[in-house]
Amino acid sequence: MPDISIINDQSIPARIARAGLYPRQRKRGYLGMSEIGDPCERRLWLSYHVEKQPGKISNRLLRVFDMGDIIEDRLILHLQKSLYHVKNFQEEYSDFDGQFQGHCDGHIRGMYEAPDKWHILEIKSANQSSFNGFVKHGIQQNRMFGEKYYAQVQIYMHYSGLDRAVILVENKNDSRLYQERFRYCRKDALNLYEKAWWIINADYQPNGISKKETFWICRMCRYNNPDYCRKKWEGEELF
């Protein structure tokens, strides 16, 4: 009998990839409040003005997003079983004729630190490295994800009228949890509001975070190629 364990047959991953399990593809057509804290304004501008149509996302990445949804559902269940009040799931916020939109994970009440206060609830999942960074330095200090998370809850507080928020993060490697609460900062929220207005109305793309393709944030950016970000810089003609 041949030893089938030595045959590198990847039929299951290939079949799952072909199965079309995720008909939903990225389709927004609006500027997402979850992205408004992106430290690169050019990336925001490109995602709104150039990539409004649904982009093709790999099956692998869609499964990553799906896992985020699974973690979110499980944590909401655990919060409810732990006797927190959770409501207003996916409440929508919208401005500029629907061109700026967001949906919060929910509102939560019963926090030990402020039992009677409703908070915006935002649930995230993170890999080991990001999670450890959140714990060590605080969410807001993380440039890759944390700045966006902070901006997201600020703008949600702005539109919901709530003045507190909590971000709950689960470590995807070991399921540890970490929470951080934030108060509404009107100044930060208004800056984000103005940023959204500017991104939506700008008819030229702003400078990016770095001209160096090897800059660490650019290395993980899907626009880091000659078709998008690297096609031109300020002063050159628009593409």
Query: Cα(first)–Cα(last) distance of the chain, in Å?
Result: 61
Under the binding rule (CB under 6 A), the answer on residue 79 touching ligand SF4 is: no
Q: Is 218 in the site for ligand SF4 (CB under 6 A)?
A: yes
The 3-state DSSP composition of the chain as helix, strand, coil percent (nearest 5) reads: 40, 20, 40
Q: Tell me, by CB under 6 A, how many residues bind ligand SF4.
A: 12
SS3 label, residue 94:
strand
Minimum distance from residue 143 beta carbon to ligand SF4 (Å): 11
37 part of the interface to ligand SF4, by CB under 6 A: no
Please report how close the Cβ of residue 47 comes to ligand SF4 at its closest, in angstroms: 9
- Minimum distance of ligand SF4 from residue 206's CB (angstroms): 9
> In whole angstroms, what is the distance from residue 1 CA to residue 4 CA?
9
Instruction: Verify binding: residue 205, ligand SF4, rule CB under 6 A.
Output: no
**CB 31 within 8 Å of CB 46:** no
**Site membership for ligand SF4, residue 42 (CB under 6 A):** yes
Three-class DSSP labels, 144-180: CCHHHHHHHHHHHHHHHCCCEEEEEEEECCCCCEEEE
Residue with tokens 């959140």: 134
Among 31, 36, 40, 121, binds ligand SF4 (CB under 6 A): 40
Whether 223 and 229 have beta carbons less than 8 Å apart is answered as: yes
Q: Does 210 bind ligand SF4 (CB under 6 A)?
A: yes
User: Minimum CB separation from ligand SF4 for residue 35, in Å?
Assistant: 12
Q: Sign of the C-alpha dihedral, residues 8, 9, 14, 16? A: negative
Any contact of residue 102 with ligand SF4 (CB under 6 A)? Answer: no
Interacting residue with ligand SF4 among 37, 43, 170, 193 (CB under 6 A): 43
DSSP 26-68: B--SSEETTTTT-S-HHHHHHHHHT--SPBP--HHHHHHHHHH
Measured from the CB atom, is 33 or 218 closer to ligand SF4?
218
Task: Report in angstroms how near the CB of residue 210 gets to ligand SF4 at its nearest.
Answer: 5
Q: Which is nearer to ligand SF4, 69 or 234 (CB)?
A: 234
206 binding ligand SF4? (CB under 6 A) = no
Amino acid at 43: R
Amino acid at 148: K
Work out how close the CB of 187 gets to ligand SF4 at its nearest, in angstroms, rounded to a whole number: 25
Judged by CB under 6 A, which of 155, 189, 196, 221 binds ligand SF4? 221
Residues that bind ligand SF4 (CB under 6 A): 40, 42-43, 208-210, 217-218, 221, 223-224, 229
